Amino acid sequence: MDIQAIVEMVMKELEKNDTKIVETTPSKKHQVNEVIYKTEKIVTVDDAIKKEDIEKAQAITPARIGIGRTGTRMKTKNYLDFRIDHAAAQDAVFKDVSKEFIKTMSLPVLQSRAESMEQYLMNLDSGRRLSAHSIEWAQKNLRQKQQVQVIISDGLSSTGVEATIPDLLPALLQGLKVKNISVGEPVFIQKSRVWIQDEIASITDCEIVISLIGERPGLATSKSVSAYFIYRPNEKSVEADRTVISNIHEGGIPPVEAGAYLADLLEQSLHYKASGVKLARIKGE
């Protein structure tokens, strides 16, 4: 259910819909619910003792603070805000990345073995391996023995991918180009998980594979992605071998800044021939 539907449903429950007549043809009219709702942080606590302090706290955190109540229930505005954020989180998980986005970014599209969102969510392994057709395509088309191979994965937030990758990916590629690091053509893999990078690394024989993947959305934001990379993965690789930078979005680590930072980390990983905990130890972190 999308945000508009959630708002319309709640407004109908509260009997506060505004309606108007819209002429669609010279001989036919129908009613349309018009809902305009503005989301903004305001203190809804009645007679707050230190309202200014609450407003300052609201400005620096996505947490739901300064929420008022009517009897035992939250106020209508806070209830609507919650339902809208919840709908956005659901959309981020269940909606596919748009074809327009893929076309604009000029990304080849591969597919994991997950044939549906239900299978992707219930069977973790299905998102960790490429489909047979995608394996064949990757073997024929992806450049071999590059220093870095980039994967974009929808993961659990198509919204995060569409909102963040247009700035994050160019910044990352530009940073690697400046450092004279060779990069294979970035690919988009539908319904994929982090570990699918191991199979891509095996196919391309790259030194490092990095996944830019949609994060599990929360009520604070549905637009966040994470970056996972690993140096020379193999059948014995574990989570500790991967370096991760998370919370990349406009309200966290800005995508452009994250791209430049990731380029620096990848350069270090190539230099030390390590990633994850091993890289952190070498750097003394």
Q: Per the annotation, where are the binding residues for adenosylcob(III)alamin? A: 194, 215
Element (H, E) at 18: strand 18-25
Q: Is the dihedral of CA 88, 196, 275, 229 positive or negative?
A: negative
For residues 93-105, one letter each, b for 16 or more C-beta atoms within 10 angstroms of the residue's C-beta and e for the rest, the string is beeebeeebbeeb
What SS3 class is residue 122? helix
Q: Which of 157, 10, 17 is CA-nearest to residue 83?
A: 10
Binding site members: 194, 215
Amino acid identity of residue 65, one-letter, is: I
| Residues paired with residue 22 on neighbouring β-strands, in sequence order | 30
The CA R_g of the chain, rounded to the nearest whole Å, is 23
Calpha distance 75→10 (Å, rounded): 13
